[in-house]
Structure 1
Amino acid sequence: MQFALIARDRAEPGTLDRRLAARQEHMEGIRRGKADGSIIDGGALLDAEGRMAGSVILCEFPDRAALDAYLASEPYRREAVWGDVEILEFRRIDWAALTAPPVA
């Protein structure tokens, strides 16, 4: 199953410091997920001044329970960086089919 995860950082003092402290571990997990195929893409949400204010992650797991297990170990969740986390199921575009020449 494919999921879009939209996580907004907590709006409280110290959140950016916690984010920066947990960032290396977070990025290591993202790299592992990209290598094993569970992370499709992602990046930081930015505030009006261009500062990191959350995360967007497109991911693929066998089921919601596997996603929940991933989230339980996610450093930004564990270290109280993320506040609200919205999870949406989605279907990724089949780019090969979309860009294939039409069959005559």
Structure 2
Amino acid sequence: MLYVIHAYDFTDEQAHHRRMAVRERHIAGAKLLKSNGNFVLGGALLDLDGKMIGSMMLVDFEEEAQLHHWLENDPYVTGNVWDKIDVKPFKMANI
């Protein structure tokens, strides 16, 4: 099942510092997801000035429990980077 994730960063003064402190671990985790076939695409959400304000990912997990296990352990969650996380099932257009 495909899921689209929109995750928005906290907006306090230390938010960007927390993001950058765990960014390499987050990316390493995304690379592992990709090698396992779970990562479809993703990247940083930007504001109009090009500043990172969150993330978007399209992931593929057989079971919702696998999605939640990964998400609960992602460095952006455990490192208090993401404030609001919206996860929705996603159906890719077949065109």
Question: When the two structures are superposed, what TM-score results if normalisation uses the length of structure 1?
Answer: 0.87
Q: Does 1:88 align with 2:88?
A: yes
User: Within 5 A, what are the aligned runs for 1:1-104?
Assistant: 1-94=1-94, 98=95
Structure 2 Cα separation of the partners of residues 53 and 11 of structure 1? 8
Unaligned ranges ≥5, structure 2: none
Deviation at 1:64, TM superposition (A): 1.5
Unaligned ranges ≥5, structure 1: 99-104
Structure 1 Cα separation of the partners of residues 52 and 63 of structure 2? 29
Deviation at 1:84, TM superposition (A): 0.4
Deviation at 1:36, TM superposition (A): 0.9
Deviation at 1:65, TM superposition (A): 1.0
Question: When the two structures are superposed, what TM-score results if normalisation uses the length of structure 2?
Answer: 0.95
List, as ranges, runs of 4+ consecutive aligned residues in structure 1 with deviation greater than 6 Å: none
Deviation at 1:82, TM superposition (A): 0.1
Deviation at 1:93, TM superposition (A): 3.3
Structure 2 Cα separation of the partners of residues 7 and 20 of structure 1? 16
Give the alignment's Cα RMSD to 1 decimal.
Answer: 0.9
Larger Cα-atom Rg: 1
**Identity over the aligned pairs, expressed in percent?**
33
